[in-house]
A and B are shown apart, each in its own frame.
Chain A
Amino acid sequence: GENVEQHPSTLSVQEGDSAVIKCTYSDSASNYFPWYKQELGKGPQLIIDIRSNVGEKKDQRIAVTLNKTAKHFSLHITETQPEDSAVYFCAASLTTGGGNKLTFGTGTQLKVEL
């Protein structure tokens, strides 16, 4: 089955700096890669996702890049703000039209310091 590794486990940045979180996956057939943000005591919130037919996707301060050859994808957050502090999870799945299982990474605790 799919295995997703995520690094780093913790990340501390100064407000305004950029943050990068990296994930690798094992199943070359995986074609859908979402990123979730989870605040303490809450459910994960989808912040951005990418499918294997594109290499990069951007939404304001958040961007995701995908390298299918190397089987890794990364989350980039620019101009970080204190409210970006949370745990971020990457995930991978093989989509065949709906109802497909996500394999999650182990999470990255991001702390944005003032």
Chain B
Amino acid sequence: RKEVEQDPGPFNVPEGATVAFNCTYSNSASQSFFWYRQDCRKEPKLLMSVYSSGNEDGRFTAQLNRASQYISLLIRDSKLSDSATYLCVVIPNDYKLSFGAGTTVTVRA
């Protein structure tokens, strides 16, 4: 079983729609969780950290469910510029980072 698994998508949504997807992780001792965004095989860039209580940054909301071992990302009022691949990153407490393979989101006009 992979340490971090994501639905690869693609999620094709119209502008203005809400899209949400999850990422599951296998190591229950994991301490840190992030969502990164990657455009067209460029370098990943931090979108947001995921905190235990859940957090929101503008149109983006991240949630952590430790009991079921998954994190989620919800994008409201999708923009064309939100089209990208979203990578889930999980850090257990052993200095190694685990990346999901990414979820592709395509927002159409």
Co-complex (A, B): no
Which residues of B pack against A, CB within 8 Å? none
Which residues of A pack against B, CB within 8 Å? none
